Amino acid sequence: MTAPRVLSRVLRGAVPAAVLVVLGAAPAHAGEYRYWSFWERDGREWTYATQGPGTLRPEDGDVLGFRFAVSEDSGDADRPRGEADFAVICEGTEPRPGNKRIALSVDFGTPADAPAGEVPPKGRTACAVVPEDGTAAEALADVLGPLRYDSSAMLCAITGYPRTGCGEQVSDTGSGTSDEAAEERTDEGEGTAPTSDDASDSASDDTGAGSYTGAIGGAAVVAVLCAAAVRRARRRRS
């Protein structure tokens, strides 16, 4: 058999193998999670909080929001719905020396986002009055307790909802279920959910790098096999 024919046979077998290496090494889609996301009101828009409620220290007049929903990360998280105006929520609450007023809007989500056997309560708003150095978590606990946290300080429940569970994965399809296009745990583990810039994304980046390296490695193996086949064919001819 001539060298070109041997090479042709090797390539016909090796090219599909190389394709499988590339496809098999591709990073899997991230899953979706059921969790409380944390938001800040910027004018008329909700923006995903860059700190967790345990570290964020809002100022007098700020509006904060919480939304329970199923989403992949902050990129597709559902924003709070309902009233979110400080003047309305804190109407009648006068400022006090040494304290600050924080308007809170809590959206318990839709039945589709609720854990099995639970029904989401109606959304609630409240005006919290906390010390000037108080955190968002303290403001929330002041007016909308009881709160439930897990061992890593992730917010699991507001006013007891949901009764069980905390940021559990509900699917691995990578497809979003948000009702509005809009990130996970934030600084020091005190956020409300996984974010697109936390360690999980770093892991995804590492996986992508591994995929690229694997593809290169697979191609190198194919090249070595091809070269060996050509050498064997030449020896047989001689």
Q: What is the pLDDT of residues 26-45, one digit of tens each?
A: 233 458 999 999 999 988 89
CA–CA dist 165, 112 (Å, integer):
16
pLDDT (0 to 100) of residue 83: 72
Report the candidate in 99, 14, 12 with the shortest Cα–Cα distance to residue 58: 99
Mean pLDDT for 160-181 is 70
DSSP-based three-state secondary structure for 169? strand
CA–CA dist 181, 168 (Å, integer):
21
State the amino acid at position 147 in one-letter form: L
Mean pLDDT for 84-99 is 94
Determine contact, residues 185/11, Cβ cutoff 8 Å. no
DSSP-based three-state secondary structure for 167? coil
Mean pLDDT for 100-108 is 98
Most confident of 77-91, 99-113, 213-227: 99-113
Examine the pLDDT at 218 and tell me if it is beyond 50: no
pLDDT (0 to 100) of residue 60: 97
pLDDT (0 to 100) of residue 172: 57
C-beta atoms surrounding 99 within 10 Å: 14
pLDDT (0 to 100) of residue 82: 79
Mean pLDDT for 94-115 is 96
Examine the pLDDT at 232 and tell me if it is beyond 70: no
pLDDT (0 to 100) of residue 30: 58
